């Protein structure tokens, strides 16, 4: 049965929010990392959201209800992102991606820290086949020790290699695999090293702007 939300209640459970021409999905606040640069440390919102802190993780009924407030024709792409690591809520992510493909056939992107295989203790990348069109993985730095210092993963020092392995496995199932660093946070030399890593994996390297909105 679908839940009917007042605008206030919907704002308290912001499952979908607009960023530029894309519709973003916020399924979970869980994340195994505590990145030194995480936006959650000093803000409650991104894009046109009011607050991305969830009172609880949404059920599929609640996800469907949230879509009823948006016209998908207004958006170019659906993006799993939000205030947490989307693969923490893997079954809901897959169910939501299927729902969007079945109803609107929109391109779907997953923004991830790339630690989903550690979270689930198995290779989850085959589950994305035919559903996720683009995956954007935070590479952050070409330096393993520096990466582990930056992301402060609950999985410890194996995290950097696991993230690279995740990216490599994604290239088998997802048409477009992007690995990102944030502009001005590493040197030009380090950016060149990131490009080499991406080339060896078969991923596209992207230097993204510092988030400011």
Residues making contact with ligand SF4 (CB under 6 A)? 31, 33-35, 38, 40, 84-85, 113, 151
Q: How far apart are CA 101 and CA 176, in angstroms?
A: 17
User: 112 or 134, CB closer to ligand SF4?
Assistant: 112
User: 10 or 40, CB closer to ligand SF4?
Assistant: 40
What's phi and psi for 66, nearest 5 deg?
-60, -40
Judged by phi (left if over 0) then psi (alpha if -120 to 50, else beta), residue 195 lies in alpha
**Shortest Cβ distance from residue 135 to ligand SF4 (Å)?**
14
**Shortest Cβ distance from residue 189 to ligand SF4 (Å)?**
24
Cβ neighbors of 55 (< 8 A, separation 6 or more) are: 12, 13
User: 9 or 211, CB closer to ligand SF4?
Assistant: 211
**Shortest Cβ distance from residue 80 to ligand SF4 (Å)?**
12
**Shortest Cβ distance from residue 64 to ligand SF4 (Å)?**
25
User: 46 or 174, CB closer to ligand SF4?
Assistant: 46
Q: How far apart are CA 106 and CA 109, in angstroms?
A: 10
Question: How far are the Cα atoms of 6, 37, 79, 87, 143 from residue 147, in angstroms, in the given order?
Answer: 42, 12, 24, 20, 6
**Shortest Cβ distance from residue 6 to ligand SF4 (Å)?**
28
User: 151 or 162, CB closer to ligand SF4?
Assistant: 151
Q: How far apart are CA 197 and CA 181, in angstroms?
A: 12
**Shortest Cβ distance from residue 79 to ligand SF4 (Å)?**
14
- The one-character DSSP state at 59 is P
Judged by phi (left if over 0) then psi (alpha if -120 to 50, else beta), residue 69 lies in alpha
User: 39 or 72, CB closer to ligand SF4?
Assistant: 39
């Amino acid at each position: 049965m679908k839940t009917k939300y007042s605008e206030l209640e919907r704002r308290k459970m912001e499952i979908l929010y607009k960023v530029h021409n894309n519709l973003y999905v916020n399924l979970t606040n869980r994340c195994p990392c505590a990145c030194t640069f995480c936006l959650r440390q000093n803000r409650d919102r991104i894009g046109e959201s009011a607050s991305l802190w969830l009172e609880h993780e949404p059920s599929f009924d609640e996800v469907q209800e949230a879509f009823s407030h948006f016209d998908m024709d207004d958006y170019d792409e659906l993006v799993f992102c939000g205030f947490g690591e989307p693969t923490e809520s893997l079954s809901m992510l897959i169910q939501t991606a299927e729902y969007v493909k079945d109803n609107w056939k929109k391109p779907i992107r997953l923004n991830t820290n790339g630690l989903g295989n550690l979270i689930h203790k198995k290779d989850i990348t085959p589950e994305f086949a035919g559903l996720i069109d683009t995956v954007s993985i935070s590479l952050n730095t070409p330096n393993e020790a520096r990466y582990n210092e930056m992301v402060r993963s609950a999985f410890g020092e194996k995290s950097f290699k696991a993230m690279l392995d995740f990216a490599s496995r994604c290239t088998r199932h997802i048409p477009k695999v992007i690995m990102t660093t944030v502009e001005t946070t590493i040197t030009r030399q380090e950016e060149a090293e990131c490009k080499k890593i991406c080339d060896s994996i078969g991923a596209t390297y992207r230097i993204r702007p510092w988030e400011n909105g």
